[in-house]
Amino acid sequence: MNPVLLSIILIPILEIYLFIKIGSQIGAFNTILLIFITAFIGVYYAKYEGLNTIRSAFTQIIKNQTPAYEIISGAAIAFAAILLIIPGFATDLLGFLFIFPITRKLIFGNISNKFKKRDTKKNNFIEGEYEDIEDNDDRKI
């Protein structure tokens, strides 16, 4: 079975199960309140981390380096914000894992290192000289 289709089926089942279990322990109102609180805190922290990632990317660009980790990190923060907006405890947990810099570095650090290694190998330059030729010059081909 397709993994995407399987996740579309299993994630809501897991979320409903967690709603029932947590709701029976702390009550329905507190469960709904917890969902809104995690969404609010998550989106606010995603905005904060997103701005930090943009600052870090500009720093890398100023140093004339490829901001590979920052690009991957920015995409992960956007995906985490979406996961935090979706009501549910499992998606919130995954969203918070993607938002915190420590876990994001553990998850996506290897991918960005591959881009940085590839970028350092591309320092082959071809030097040459050129000369502008005017329109009325006889040397034109």
- pLDDT, tens only, 25-72: 999 999 999 999 999 999 999 999 999 999 999 999 999 888 888 898
Q: Which of 11-25, 95-109, 116-130 has the lowest mean pLDDT?
A: 116-130
- Per the domain annotation, does 3 fall within a domain? no
Does 135 fall in a domain? Answer: no
Give the total number of structural domains in the chain. 1
Kindly state the average pLDDT of the residues 14-33: 94
Q: Is 127 inside a domain boundary?
A: no
Predicted pLDDT at 118 = 59
Residue 69, domain extent: 35-120
Contacts of 72 (CB under 8 A, 6+ apart): 108, 111, 112
Domain membership of residue 75 (yes or no) is yes
Decide if 125 is inside a domain.
no
The span from the CA of 8 to the CA of 31, in Å, is 23
Q: Is there a domain that residue 17 lies in?
A: no
